[in-house]
Amino acid sequence: MSVFDVMLIGFGLAMDAFAVSVCKGLVIGERDPRKTVIIAGYFAAFQMLMPLAGYLAGAQFSGVVQKVDHWIAFLLLGIIGGNMIRESFRAEEEPVTADVSFRAMLPLAVATSIDALITGVTFAFMQVHLWTSVLIIGGITFLLCAAGVELGRLVGKKLEKRAELLGGVVLILIGLKTLIEHLTAG
């Protein structure tokens, strides 16, 4: 998997966290760089930890499923992407507060990084440099979430659903690309 592919995956995975960051920026209102760094830091840390945990879990089974790994990657990324697209059309909103305490941020960081855990499992079946991938995903998430907080302060909720939709489409396309590359190779 190329660095560009990992960057696209990082972008797709960060969309949930970006959407929540936009909402956080909306409710924070005033410019507060400390809160921006805290929010972006929580999301980036979990977007880095979850693929690592998923990779470690998936590596236990990689030898067993090596012949169908491309199908597993395609299905998992397709499910994650499809779920993100579905979520982008949901009408109900989850309440978001300006609170950036551990108690407030931990559930948000975990909830927005479950997709990254599953993606980490797919990494175990693919040619991925784990540490580079984790750092790229975390860096992209941090930058997008910091921008999301500031954007939320300025624009509001208009972008939230579009970000989830775009992230879902990107993940489905990466899964499809992985499948096509494997089926057409050799």
Give one DSSP letter per residue of 153-173, joined into a string. Answer: HHT-GGGHHHHHHHHHHHHHH
How many separate domains does the chain show?
A: 1
- 36-68 per-position pLDDT tens digit: 999 999 999 999 999 999 999 888 876 666 677
Give the separation between CA 172 and CA 72, rounded to whole angstroms: 13
CA distance 101 to 61: 37
pTM, two decimal places: 0.73
Asked if pLDDT for residue 31 goes beyond 90, the answer is no
pLDDT tens, residue by residue, 160-181:
666 667 666 766 776 777 678 7
Q: Which of 110, 108, 80, 81 is nearest to 94 (CA)?
A: 108
Q: Which structural domain range is residue 92 located in?
A: 3-184
